[in-house]
Amino acid sequence: MSFESDLKRMEEITDLLKDEDTGLEESIKLYEEAAGLGRKLSKTLSEIQRKVEKVTSEDEMELETEESESDEVPF
């Protein structure tokens, strides 16, 4: 499943767990599913964060290089 569909499923599970008509056995199954989805979503978010940090770092280094080149005094 995609991140978005996993997140949507997590919301559905949350609603089901809040429902007083959901029995104990079903609640336990839903909780286990939610725990697995939570781990998966957390891992995905961590990977995305690393990618964003890498791109941001590369952009900053590129800007610094451009700035230092523009600061050079031509002869």
Model-level pTM? 0.70
Distance in angstroms (rounded) separating the CA atoms of residues 69 and 38: 46
Q: Read off the pLDDT of residues 18-45 as tens digits, 9 standing for 90 and up.
A: 999 999 999 999 999 999 999 999 999 9
Q: Token pair of 10, please?
A: 């997590």
Which range of 1-5, 29-33, 56-60 scores highest in mean pLDDT? It is: 29-33
Mean pLDDT of the chain: 88
Q: Residue 74: phi, psi to the nearest 5?
A: -75, 150
pLDDT at 59 over 90: no
Alpha helices in 19-72 (DSSP H): 24-71
